[in-house]
């Protein structure tokens, strides 16, 4: 009776693969780099990728305005933040899936432990008519279920922490952005217009 537990383990292994989530975040980094965003504004973004995968490539060099060409990178802060919000949604969805599976695994563990307790309590006769073998088989079956569930839990628990850490860092991005470009935003809000070639943040009606 390990089919159900094997299914739960397989689901845990599938959820553990955060490659697509990491790729989405590094794509946002690439867009920010192409647009020339200050590196201080994307520190948390790089941290979000590395929270999911410590080996994720998050090197960043926005360079000078000469490295930007029309059509590359984000055209506005709104476009950038929309992409960040999309990444947040994806990670939040994955976290919910993981948390639901953790609850399912916990319930299955309770059932497996109850089966193990029942197996240990099975009576046996001095003159064995197969009762000893049946008891041992029941014990081993329950232990097998428990091992599978423990393996699933060993995947889900650290995965939950990675997802939460990544989500927290993504939520920090908008605040970092506001701090880095505080004076520029104030200038624009008071009616200021940026130069025609303003690296990344542009005034209304400005074209690159």
DSSP of 118-186: HHHT----SS-SSHHHHHHHHHHHHHHHHHHHHHHHHHHHHHHHHHHHHHHHHHHHHHHHHHHTHHHHH
Strand runs (DSSP E) across 20-126, as ranges?
A: none
Tokens of 128: 């064995």
Torsion (CA) 121, 125, 129, 132 in degrees, nearest 10: 40
pLDDT digits 0-9 by tens, 119-177 = 888 776 766 666 677 888 889 999 999 999 999 999 999 999 999 999 999 999 989 88
- What is the spatial distance between Cα 114 and Cα 108, in angstroms, rounded to a whole number? 10
What tens digit of pLDDT does each residue of 92-119 get?
Answer: 999 999 999 999 999 999 999 999 998 8
User: Which two three-digit tokens encode residue 117?
Assistant: 């307790």
């Amino acid at each position: 009776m390990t089919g159900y537990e094997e299914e739960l383990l397989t689901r845990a292994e599938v959820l553990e693969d955060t490659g697509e989530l990491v790729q989405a975040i590094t794509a946002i980094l690439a867009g920010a780099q192409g647009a020339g965003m200050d590196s201080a504004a994307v520190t948390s973004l790089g941290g979000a990728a590395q929270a999911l995968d410590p080996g994720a490539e998050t090197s960043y060099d926005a360079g000078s305005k000469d490295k930007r060409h029309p059509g590359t990178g984000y055209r506005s802060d709104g476009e950038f933040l929309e992409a960040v919000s999309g990444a947040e949604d994806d990670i939040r969805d994955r976290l919910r899936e993981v948390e639901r599976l953790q609850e399912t695994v916990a319930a299955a563990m309770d059932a497996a432990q109850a089966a193990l307790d029942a197996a240990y309590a099975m009576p046996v006769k001095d003159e064995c008519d197969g009762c000893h073998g049946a008891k041992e088989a029941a014990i081993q079956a329950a232990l097998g279920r428990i091992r599978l569930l423990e393996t699933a839990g060993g995947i889900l628990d650290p995965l939950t922490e990675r997802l939460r850490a990544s989500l927290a860092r993504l939520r920090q991005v908008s605040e970092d952005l506001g701090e880095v470009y505080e004076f520029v935003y104030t200038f624009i809000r008071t009616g200021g217009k940026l130069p025609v070639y303003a690296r990344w943040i542009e005034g209304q009606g400005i074209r690159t």
